[in-house]
Amino acid sequence: MIKLQEIVGIFKKADALLEGHFKLSSGLHSSQYLQCARVLEDPRIAERVCGALAGMFRQDKPSVVVAPALGGIIVSYEVARSLGVRGVFSERVDGKMCLRRGFALSKKDRALIVEDVITTGKSTKEVIEVVKETGAEIIGVGSIADRSEQTIKFGAPFKSLVKIDIITYKPEDCPMCKKKIPLVKPGSRTTK
């Protein structure tokens, strides 16, 4: 199992903990951003990190791993590979999360929902709704990093490899906006 210090070290070594002025997928602003793609670009690290996440849910015997595109695709694949099950992803069509590309779940499936980073849980909750519509059982929610400021209720056990406290701001309260520091949007979801 990977230890907390080791996960933080992996993020730092990959230059995946960014400093600046960021607009998060949630619409909130932050002076720090976790760019998991930098960690996951190394297949050996991705295998190790996602294998550790898979290990947290192995006893729950999922039959499929589901993640939101784009950030969760590699996580879903690697966790599924570690568990020896299918890995699929959902994506937005006209702003609504759905399964495409022939992906399907059934009432017999035991779904594990995974993400790279969870901040507000919005994308994860959208995936949960998609999975519920199929009748599949949701056995858990997992993430590499949990940067939520409050406990998020997913209706299933939630586990992450690391809890990282990064302050977020509503745009109107953002000190970087007040200082006119350029805003960067590094995430995959378009927000208004």
**65-93 residue pLDDT tens:** 999 998 899 999 999 999 999 999 999 99
189 within a domain of the structure (yes/no): no
Average pLDDT of the chain, as a whole number:
91
Q: Residue 109 is part of which domain span?
A: 4-178
The residues facing 89 across adjacent strands are 67
187 within a domain of the structure (yes/no): no
Nearest CA to 62 among 40, 39, 88?
A: 88
Asked if 135 and 107 count as a contact pair (C-beta separation under 8 A), the reply is yes
Structural tokens at position 2 = 């990977």
For residue 192, what pLDDT band results from cuts at 50, 70 and 90? very low
Nearest CA to 71 among 18, 144, 6, 3?
A: 144
Q: Beta strands of the chain (E only): which ranges?
A: 17-23, 29-34, 64-68, 86-93, 96-99, 110-118, 137-146, 158-163, 168-169
3-state helix, strand, coil in the chain (%, to 5): 30, 30, 40
Which CATH number fits the domain that encloses residue 150?
Answer: 3.40.50.2020
| Coil/strand/helix, residue 19 | strand
190 within a domain of the structure (yes/no): no
Global pTM reads 0.86
CA distance linking residue 79 with residue 99, whole number of Å = 19
183 within a domain of the structure (yes/no): no
Nearest CA to 174 among 28, 65, 66, 58?
A: 28
Task: Tell me how many domains the chain contains.
Answer: 1
pLDDT at 187 over 80: no
**94-145 residue pLDDT tens:** 989 999 999 999 999 999 999 999 988 999 999 999 999 999 999 999 999 9
Edge-to-edge strand list for the sheet holding 96-99: 96-99, 86-93, 64-68, 110-118, 137-146, 158-163
86-93 and 96-99 as β-strands: parallel, antiparallel, unpaired?
antiparallel
Query: Dmax of the chain from CA atoms?
Result: 53
What phi and psi, each to the nearest 5 degrees, are found at residue 65? -115, 130
61 within a domain of the structure (yes/no): yes
For residue 188, what pLDDT band results from cuts at 50, 70 and 90? low
The residues facing 162 across adjacent strands are 145
Nearest CA to 141 among 112, 101, 164, 106?
A: 112
